[in-house]
Structure 1
Amino acid sequence: MTDSLANMIACPKCDALHRIPHVEKGARARCVRCDTVLMAPRDGAMTRIVMLSATGLILMIGAVFFPFLELNVQGLGRKSSVFDAVLAFSDGLMLPLSFAVAALIVVLPIMRFMALIYVFAPMALGWQPARGAREVFRLAEVIRPWAMAEIFIIGVAVALVKVAGLATVTLGPAFWAFVLLVIVTALKDSFMCRVTVWQTLNQRRV
C-alpha cells in the first residue's frame, strides 16, 4: 500500500475517502458526506473489550448447557437447552442444519470472543501485540456478521409469542444468559474503534 493510501480511510456507508485525522480520546471523527462516525477512540477501551469478551465466554457456557426453557402441556413438562436443540437436528438429512445452528449460535461467537481477547489483552497491558494479532483481528472482523446470538434471541422471542398460546412456557437461566450475552456484545462493539485498533497494531508490531 502506498503512503498516500495508507493515510486514507473510506466511509463504511458512502465510501467517501478521508485522510485519517488525529482524534483525541473521547472525541469523534465523522464523515463529511453522510455524518457516519469514522473514529471514536475511548480511554481504556482495550481493557473493557477484554473484560466484556471474557464475560461473553462465561455467559456462552451457561447459555449453551443450562436449561433454556421449559414447556408444560396438560401436566407434561419438558426442559430443553441450546445444546439439546443442536442435537435435535443431528439425524439424517437435518445434520447440515445441526452444524449450521451450532456454528452460527455457538462456535463463531466463541471464536470471536477468544480472538478479541488474544488481540487486545497483550496491548491492554502495554505489551507488543501477540504473534499474528493482525490476522486474528481480521478473522474476528470477517466472522462478526455471522455470529448470530442476537438473531437467535429475536427468533426465539417471535416463536414464544405463538407457543405461549398452546403451552405454559417457563424461561430458564440460559435464556437470560443469552439476553445478557447480546447486551455484552453490543457494549463490546460500542467500545471498539476499528481504525484505532489497526493503527495501534501497526504502530506496536515488532
Structure 2
Amino acid sequence: MSASAALGRAEDAVSWRTPARLCECGSCGRFQVIPALEAGDSAVCSRCGSVLRKAMRDPLGRALALNLAALSILGVACLMSLMTVSTAGMTRQASLFTGPVDMGRSGLWELTVIVLFTTVVAPTLKLAANCYVLIGLRLARPPRHIRRVYAFVEHLRPWSMVEVFLLGVAVAYTKLVDLVHIELGMALYALALLMLTMIAAEAVLDRQAVWDEMERRGVPRQPIDHAATALARREDGAASCHTCGLVSLPHHHDDHCPRCGSTLHARKPSAVPRAWALLVAAAILYIPANYFPVLAFYQLGSGQPSTILGGVVELMEAELYPLAALVFLASVAVPLMKVVGMAVLLLSTQFGWRGRLRDRTRLYFAINAIGRWSMIDIFMVTILVALVRFGAIVSIEPGYGGIAFCAVVILTMLAAEGFDPRLMWDAAGANPADPAQGRP
C-alpha cells in the first residue's frame, strides 16, 4: 500500500472521531468543552445532565441510505390507497390526499392545509433536504447553500408527523370495524415501514457531524477560529447558535453565525412574552375545542355530533379501554397539561424561582416532545371523513370543533418551541454574566 493511500485511509478513520469543541448547554446555559468522542461515546452536561453530543459510527453514510429509502417509501405511500371500505354495495377508497380534500369541500380548508403539511409536505421536504445535504457533502466541491438547506431542516423537524398520523389511522380503524367492511391498502403498510425507517434515520444521524463536515469541507464562507472561541467567556458576549450550536462572538461576525448563517442571539428573543401570548390563546381555544363537535355521524338519516370526550366514551363503550385511555391522554389531558406546565415554567422564570431547576428543565423537554401527539384526533377525523360518505345510508362530516382543537395543538407547540429553558437558570442566578444576557 502506498504512503498516500495509507494516509487517506487514516484520515477517513479519524473523520468519524468528533473534534473537541466549546459548547453551551441548550438546557441550562453552562459553557463547557466537549472532548473528542469516539463512535458510541456521549457527552452530558456537568450541571443539568442533558446530552450535549452523542457520536455515531458512520453518521453520514448510514443516514443518507436510510433517508433515500424513506423518501422512496413515502412516494409509494402517496400513490397507493390507505383503506377501502364498503357497505350496501358501495365502495370508497382513501389515500393520503382524500381526507384533506374532503375537509376542504366541507368548508374546513384550514384543516386541509395543516393535515397535508404535517403528513405529506413536511416529511417530503425533510427527507429530500436531508438527502440533498448529505449527497452534497459527498461532492468534490459541496455547494455553499447546503448550510441554509440544513438549517431549514432543523426548524422543520417537529412538524413531520407520520407516526402520529398512523396512530390516528389505528383509532379510526377501531371506530369503523363494526360499521363497514374494511380492506387495508398498501399505503398503510408503506407508512408503517416509513415510520420505522425515519426513526432509524434519526437514530443514526449525528446532526453535529453534518455541521462539522460542512466546516471541514469549507462550506462556510469564512474559516472558523475555534481556538479563539475556546478562550471566550460569557462576559465577552459569546453565544451559541440556536440552529447549529456553534459558539462564537456575534460582534466578530455581524451578529450572524459563521457556520450556518443564522442570526445570533444570546437567548431566544422575546421568548417569555411570546410564549405567554401563544399560551393564553391556546387556553381560550381549549374551551370551544372540547365544547363543539369534531365530527357528526349520520346513519339512515339520523345521528348526532360527537365531541372529543364523546369519542373517548364511545371507545370505552366498545370496551377498547387502552385505546380510550390513549386518546383521552393525547387529546384531552396532554393539551391541558401543556398549558398548565408551560404556565408554571413561565411564572418560575419571571419570579426567579431557584428550586428544582433540573426537574423544571426535564418538564420543559417533556412538554416539547409530547405536544405533537395531540394531533391524533385530527388525523382520525380526516380518515373517517374520507371513508364514510355513503349518502343517507351512513356518513361522517367534520365539525368546527376540529379547527379550534388543531389551533390549540399548534399554539402550544409554538409556545414550547419558542421558549428558552436557559432563561429559568438565568433568572435563578445560575449563569452570572452580562446583565443584558438571558433576562426575561
Shorter-chain TM range is: 0.7 to 0.9
Give the 3-state SS of the residue equivalent to 1:70 in structure 2: strand
The amino acid that maps onto 2:66 is L
1:71 pairs, out of 75, 79, 85, with 85
Q: Distance in 2 between matches of 1:28 and 1:96?
A: 42
Cα pair distance change 1:73/1:16, threshold 3 Å: farther
Alpha-carbon distance change, 77 to 129 in structure 1, aligned in 2, over 3 angstroms: same
* Structure 2 residue 32 is the aligned partner of structure 1 residue 38: no
Structure 1 alignment gaps of length 5 or more: 1-5
Question: Which has the higher mean CA deviation after the structures are superposed, 101-110 or 67-76?
Answer: 67-76
User: C-alpha separation between the residues in 1 aligned to 2:170 and 2:47?
Assistant: 38
Q: CA deviation at 1:40?
A: 2.0
Deviation of the 1:171 alpha carbon: 1.3
Return the alpha-carbon distance in structure 2 between the equivalents of residues 74 and 17 of structure 1: 67
Query: Is the alpha carbon distance of 1:163 and 1:62 closer, same or farther for their aligned partners in structure 2, counting shifts above 3 Å?
Result: same
The CA deviation at 1:36 is 3.5
Secondary structure (helix, strand or coil) at the match of 1:82 reads coil
- Shift in Å, 1:204: 1.8
Q: What's the offset of the Cα at 1:55?
A: 1.2
Check the 8 A contact 1:70/1:79 in 2, yes or no.
yes
Could you say which structure has the greater relative contact order, defined with CA pairs below 8 angstroms and 6 or more residues apart? Answer: 1
Larger Rg: 2
Question: In structure 2, what is the equivalent of residue 3 of structure 1?
Answer: none
Q: Is contact 1:9-1:20 (8 Å) kept? A: no
**Percent of matched pairs sharing the same residue:** 28
Query: Structure 1 CA distance, aligned partners of 2:187 and 2:42?
Result: 37
For residue 228 of structure 2, what is the aligned residue in structure 1?
none
Letter in 2 for 1:61: G
Residues of 1 paired with 2:64 and 2:196: CA distance? 15
CA distance change for structure 1 residues 170 and 15 in 2, over 3 Å: closer, same or farther?
farther
Q: Who is 2:161 aligned against? A: 148
Asked if 2 retains the 8 angstrom alpha-carbon contact of 1:47 and 1:121, the reply is: no
Aligned with 1:45: secondary structure?
coil
Which runs of 5 or more structure 2 residues have no equivalent in the other structure? 1-20, 220-440
Is 1:191 aligned to 2:211, yes or no?
A: no
- 2:36 is aligned with 1:22: yes
**Which digits, 9 at most, give the CA deviation of each residue in 1:96-138, with x for residues without a partner?**
2212211111011111111111111132x36443321111111
Aligned residues: 199
CA separation in 2, counterparts of 1:83 and 1:135? 30
Check conservation: 2:82, 2:94, Cα contact below 8 A.
yes
1:47 match = 61
Give the TM-score normalised by structure 1: 0.86
CA contact (8 A) 1:71 1:167 kept: yes
Runs of 4 or more, structure 1, over 6 Å off, are none
1:204 corresponds in structure 2 to: 217
1:166 aligns with 2:179: yes
**How many angstroms apart in 1 are the aligned matches of 2:122 and 2:150?**
14
Deviation at 1:16, TM superposition (A): 4.2
CA RMSD across the alignment? 2.1
Per-residue deviation, 1:173:
0.5
Q: Residue 152 of structure 2 corresponds to which residue in structure 1?
A: 139
Is contact 2:123–2:160 with CA below 8 Å preserved after alignment? yes
Query: 3-state SS of the aligned residue for 2:154?
Result: helix
> Which residue of 2 is the match for residue 103 of structure 1?
117
- The CA distance in 1 between the partners of 2:62 and 2:55, in whole Å, is 12
